[in-house]
Chains A and B, each alone.
Chain A
Amino acid sequence: MAVKIHVEGLSAWYGAKKAIQDIGMDFAEHEVTAIIGPSGCGKSTLIRCLNRMHETIPKARAEGKVLLDGEDIYELPAVTVRRRIGMVFQKANPFPTMSIYDNVAAGLRLNGERNRSKLDAGVLKSLKAAALWDEVKDSLDKGGAGLSGGQQQRLCIARALAVEPEVLLMDEPCSALDPIATAKIEDLIFDLKKGYTVVIVTHNMQQAARVADKTAFLYLGKLVEFKNTRDLFERPDQELTEKYITGRFG
């Protein structure tokens, strides 16, 4: 599989505090890669560096190489990088004053698209891709706040998909959801794999085992182990990894 994102020597800081150190890994195209590790190990920092969201935090900086299809993301405009690499957050965050339709269309509209039929088509396609169309097709002009947690998260996924990214980053997308909503989103990820490259941060190891092709284990800002999910969970190389995944972290 081709390499979609190549990371080399990536380190990132919040002010003086170093959050991740010297990370090197390749994210393969059309695969789901999971990033696991204990709280504070740098998982969220790592993916936020991938779409240059890390730098939106005051006093935050990053060093190292991140190549998207071979291009250095720090040489592309940040706005372009974020359109090609979309993101879904831990807590669903639909725009509060916008309707469902406007939410999904926001990315397109606020980047200049005015053609109504193009917007309609984009909204339809994204809501279908996010497995939400059937549930909201008759209430597109209602606000997003009336939806359940799982539906709101799928709305955010639809919104992210509407700008047609190549990669989708998901930062613990199911941590606030019940098992049924979680299962729906995991099924969705399975389908999304065909058209997108997915990177998912999760603190739930069983989730990583269920959805990811490859899994990376981060500890205290360093990449400890990175291999096929099946191999990592059956036979990890590192003692530290074994301790973490068997739940024996002190």
Chain B
Amino acid sequence: MPEAAERKALESGLRRLNENMATLAELSELAIRKAIDGLRRLDPGVADDVFTLDEEIYALQLEIESTCVDLLALHAPVARDLRTITTSLKITTDLDRIGRYAKDIAELTLQFHAKESDHARNLGSIPQMAEMTIRLVDRAARAFVERDAESVRHIEEEDDSVDLLHEQAFHEIIGRMKTGELDAEVGARYILVSRYLERIADHAVNIGERVVYMVTGERAPRIRAAARAKGDRA
């Protein structure tokens, strides 16, 4: 087998791409961590940090897109190079969305009053959900940077847990709204937070699936939890 030769221009482009992608993944993860932290403590300063992060994420995403287009146009890449570049293009969308949801959570944080009563209790399952979501994002991002398909091969199963927690939180909050314990407007905000977290987890799953494709070239069929449950019931 011949030694691998260098393709200087393409290699340097791919290196830059990987560095940027790693940074983007870090920023997105940081954004959601900060957003949750800010929500828990109802700290408006943290919320501002998240807004800044979101802008950085958006700018970096544009630069990555541009790099990918350049590499495609100039080098006509194939096989692994091609899969890496097209996957990067798609994942930036997911990472950007994660950043946006983090920003949305930060915005909601600002709308809660500084001393919201029963805030911790109202959050209910949400902190647990947030933990799982953040772990998912972390795992997916690390899998991408380390090109590790195995760690994310069954990632959609963990997403099921997040979905369940979301339903649980939803019912909790609805319940309390019905009994009047919780004001409708406030309650709606908690539901939105839970929803955003669930969407973030979905995006992490997307990233995981695309990493599997990038490394192995396989495209796994996505079976949604509801369909799987239907399958179990059948």
Contacts and interface: CB of A to CB of B under 8 A. Distances in A.
B82 A234 contact: yes
A145 interface: no
Given A242-B80, A246-B78, A246-B80, A234 B5 contact: no
Contact of B79 (A206, A233, A249, A250): A233
Main secondary structure of the interface of A (DSSP, over half): helix
Contacts of A128: none
Contact of B77 (A236, A240, A246): A246
A209 B78 contact: yes
Given A246-B7, A247-B7, A248-B7, A234 B78 contact: yes
B3 interface: yes
Given A234-B217, A235-B83, A249 B2 contact: yes
A234 B78 CA distance: 6
Contacts of A243: 1-2, 4
A63 B76 CA distance: 39
Given A234-B82, A234-B83, A246-B7, A206 B1 contact: no
A138 interface: no
Interface residues of B, number: 17
> What secondary structure prevails in chain B residues at the interface with A?
loop
Contact of A248 (B4, B76, B83, B217): B4
A205 interface: yes
B81 interface: yes
Interface residues of A, number: 18
A25 interface: no
Contacts of A206: 76
Nearest to A250: B3
Contacts of A134: none
B79 A235 contact: yes
Given A242-B80, A246-B79, A235 B3 contact: no
A250 B5 contact: yes
Nearest to B82: A234
Nearest to B6: A248
A245 interface: yes
B79 A236 contact: yes
A249 B80 CA distance: 15
Contacts of B3: 250
A235 B5 CA distance: 20
A75 interface: no
Contacts of A236: 79
A178 interface: no
B79 A242 contact: yes
Q: Which of A205, A206, A236, A246 is most buried by chain B, counting CB atoms within 10 A of its CB?
A: A246
Contacts of B1: 239-240, 243
6 contacts: A233-B78, A233-B79, A236-B79, A242-B80, A246-B79, A250-B2
Interface of B: 1-7, 10, 76-83, 217
The 8 A-B pairs of least Cβ separation, nearest first, read A235-B217, A250-B3, A250-B2, A233-B78, A250-B5, A248-B4, A242-B79, A245-B78
